[in-house]
Structure 1
């Protein structure tokens, strides 16, 4: 029997949350340590605040910190970064500083404040009042940062961090926020790949394809990373597809869509996938959110998928 779409999603997620495209330069940035946010190092064996242990809410990149008791916590208490004592103090502080400084800006793109995020965050996530980081040797330099439901993993070697650090961290924090808002206890992402990547592209300010080039790619066919080809500009088209929805409906409507998915996942009656591969929770939330097209006409998911190019063609 062929594996279900859900199983394929789980396999893909085990390799990394979304297979993000990261474009890094060969130049590295070295911010002065005086620019790092303040905080202290702790040992979980003393505090009892151990790294998240639920393997299904982690990925290959983020689960490596499960047995690491050392962590750095910012003075605000919002960010913790776990990792091996073999890594430099600078790496801990730099990762914590990036998460602390970027999270509010990312949340603002979702029309949320920190207190809203804490309240709305998935019940399955450990430490709802913290963003958890992990210094992970599994994260290659080519990716640098990778997010999961429970944590955000960083390449642990600060000297290899790219110049585009802030933009990459914002992109991955967008994934972190998405996953925490869109599922209650599902063991895999309920978001189509194109939507997850497209929203993160827009939130991080990554390049987006011009509208007149929409015929160059069919983003909505990429339901999982397995469906996607190797076309490098596909991420620009994911951003184009998502931006169409956000431009017509507003960022807050997109956040409400995510929260409706979490409610449907909590309800438990919308498991599995529809015939085109998307999760039932996503399609039901999309159709129930009252979304409209650029002409302010009701937009169902089925029409968006089937008429995508016609909609984009008439929007400029």
Structure 2
């Protein structure tokens, strides 16, 4: 059960967020003659803006830039990309352009503007007013990009990038937004694997399993990547499970759920996991968010997990 302090915080948070989020229409693009956004190169030894070193906020791919002082900053000031001077100027500019041009569209799917995101993301995040990128040799050309709370890591060789980057970038930026909204300073993700991937699938517009095929997979059992079956179609089922929640409650309610988790992480009284493996913060936030099913009846996480197939079966 939540402490009285946490309940009060959650109540205030829900009231404060309801009706105040809007999608953004601001244009932050500053294209130059080469097709990339404009900006300048800097040396962190001169500016003091060194790459984040917070291990709790960096995935292993993004740790490669810890000792790299060189960075490219876009004209808007929203994006910085760090990396070795051995990598081409084009790779720096391309990574910065992807972040600058894609972030607003992804945030709009969370019903957030850029200013909303800056205000609502974890106050413990390094450089809360910027999206930080890293040209990392630990990111393969197959992956192309990988996101963590503090930084988005890119394959450092622009020539190896896929021709079409849109869905991949949207998917990874969705993870970036999720982690910044749902965590305060805990060292691991508080989201179940199925939810994190399902929301990213929906945000990126990737294929979702047809509702009538819901019996083909049990997405809610995949609490961690280790729980997942080795079947590529599982991602479509993660998207199906998440879309059910969003369709019944709206995208804003899902964003509020993430932000409630951050408050619980900050509160410090909801560490650990429940018996089914999900973080206590996720389950508590889910049950406190007032979510409903497709018939507008209150939906607890326990009922969603146990009655998932019955709910999906009666929703079409």
Judge same fold: TM > 0.5, yes or no. Answer: yes
Structure 2: distance between partners of 1:225 and 1:70: 34
What's the offset of the Cα at 1:301? 0.2
Matches within 5 A, 1:138-149: 138-149=138-149
Contact 1:37 1:96 in 2 (8 A): yes
The answer for the alignment partner of 1:247 in structure 2 is 247
Q: How many residues align?
A: 286
Structure 2: distance between partners of 1:253 and 1:96: 30
Contact 2:32 2:38 in 1 (8 A): no
Change in CA separation of 1:127 and 1:32 when aligned onto 2, cut-off 3 Å: closer
The answer for the alignment partner of 1:187 in structure 2 is 187
Deviations 1:210-247 (A, max 9, x none): 11111110000000111112111111110000000000
Deviations 1:34-91 (A, max 9, x none): 2111000000000000000011211110000000000000000000000001110000
Structure 2: distance between partners of 1:163 and 1:208: 23
The answer for the alignment partner of 2:131 in structure 1 is 131
Contact 2:91 2:158 in 1 (8 A): yes
* 2:120 is the counterpart of 1:120: yes
Contact 2:56 2:185 in 1 (8 A): no
Change in CA separation of 1:303 and 1:115 when aligned onto 2, cut-off 3 Å: same
SS of match in other structure, 1:40: strand
* 2:48 is the counterpart of 1:62: no
The answer for the alignment partner of 2:198 in structure 1 is 198
SS of match in other structure, 2:64: helix
SS of match in other structure, 2:80: strand
Structure 1: distance between partners of 2:157 and 2:34: 19
- CA root-mean-square deviation: 1.1
Deviations 1:263-302 (A, max 9, x none): 1111111110000000000000000000000011100000
Structure 1: distance between partners of 2:298 and 2:70: 51
Contact 1:33 1:90 in 2 (8 A): no
Structure 1: distance between partners of 2:269 and 2:212: 40
What's the offset of the Cα at 1:33? 6.3
The answer for the alignment partner of 1:22 in structure 2 is none
What's the offset of the Cα at 1:32? 9.8
Matches within 5 A, 1:31-46: 34-46=34-46
* 2:114 is the counterpart of 1:103: no
| TM-score, with structure 2 as normaliser | 0.89
The answer for the alignment partner of 1:6 in structure 2 is none
Deviations 1:137-174 (A, max 9, x none): 10011111100010000001111110231211111000
Matches within 5 A, 1:298-313: 298-313=298-313
SS of match in other structure, 1:42: strand
What's the offset of the Cα at 1:249? 0.2
Structure 2: distance between partners of 1:153 and 1:93: 14
Contact 1:124 1:185 in 2 (8 A): yes
Deviations 1:2-39 (A, max 9, x none): xxxxxxxxxxxxxxxxxxxxxxxxxxxxx996211100
Contact 1:71 1:82 in 2 (8 A): yes
* 2:267 is the counterpart of 1:263: no
- For structure 2, the 5+ residue unaligned runs are 1-30
Moved over 4 A (4+): none
The answer for the alignment partner of 1:16 in structure 2 is none
SS of match in other structure, 1:226: helix
Structure 1: distance between partners of 2:181 and 2:141: 28
Structure 2: distance between partners of 1:192 and 1:218: 13
The answer for the alignment partner of 2:48 in structure 1 is 48
SS of match in other structure, 1:85: coil
